[in-house]
Amino acid sequence: MRRTPRGTARKLAARERHRSPDKMKDTAIRDALVERGTVLFNAPKKLFPFTREPRADALLNDLTGHPHAFVLACVMDRQIKAERAWLIPYRISEKVGGFSMRTLSTLSRTDVKRLMGKPDPLHRFVDIMAVHFHSAVQRIETVYDGNAAKMWSGEPSSAEVVYRFLEFDGIGPKIATMAANILARKFKIPLADYFSIDISADVHIRRVFARLGLCPEDASVEQVIYRARALNPEFPGMIDLPCWEIGRNWCKSRRPECAGCYMKDLCPSSAEKR
The one-letter amino acid at 181: N
Residue 217 CB partners (closer than 8 Å, separation 6+): 210
Q: How many CB atoms lie within 10 A of CB 195?
A: 16
Long-range CB contacts for residues 251-258, cutoff 8 Å, separation at least 24:
251/204, 251/207, 251/208, 251/211, 253/203, 253/207, 256/211
Q: Per CATH, which fold does 54-151 belong to?
A: Endonuclease III; domain 1 (1.10.340)
Domains 21-43+196-273 and 54-151 share a fold: no
In whole angstroms, give the CA distance from residue 67 to residue 215: 37
Please tell me the predicted confidence (pLDDT) of residue 24.
82
**What's residue 190's pLDDT?**
97
Among candidate residues 205, 224, 269, the one with its CA nearest the CA of residue 37? 205
How far apart (Å, rounded) are the C-alpha atoms in residues 95 and 89?
10
Question: Model confidence over 207-220: pLDDT tens digits?
Answer: 999 999 999 999 99
Residue-range domain boundaries for the chain = 21-43+196-273, 54-151
Q: Residue 159's pLDDT is what?
A: 98
CATH architecture of 21-43+196-273: Orthogonal Bundle (1.10)
Question: Is the torsion defined by CA of 198, 270, 268, 32 positive or negative?
Answer: negative
Task: Give the DSSP letter string of the chain.
Answer: -----HHHHHHHHHHHHTS-HHHHHHHHHHHHHHHHHHHHHTSPP----SSS-HHHHHHHT-TTT-HHHHHHHHHH-SSS-HHHHHHHHHHHHHHHT---HHHHTT--HHHHHHHHHSSS-SSSSHHHHHHHHHHHHHHHHHHSTT-GGGGTTT---HHHHHHHHHTSTT--HHHHHHHHHHHHHTS----S--TT------HHHHHHHHHTTSS-TT--HHHHHHHHHHH-TT-GGGGHHHHHHHHHHTS-SSS--GGG-TTTTT-HHHHHH-
Asked if 69 contacts 99 with a C-beta cutoff of 8 angstroms, the reply is yes
Q: Compute the distance between CA of residue 65 and CA of residue 59 in angstroms, rounded to an integer.
A: 9
Q: In this predicted structure, what is the pLDDT of residue 2?
A: 42
Question: Quick one: pLDDT at residue 28?
Answer: 95
Q: Measuring CA to CA, which residue among 166, 172, 158, 170 is closest to residue 237? A: 158
Residues of the chain with pLDDT under 70: 1-21, 271-274
pLDDT at residue 15, rounded to an integer: 47
For residues 79, 82, 83, 84, the Cα torsion angle rounded to the nearest 10 degrees is: 20
pTM for the predicted model, two decimal places: 0.86
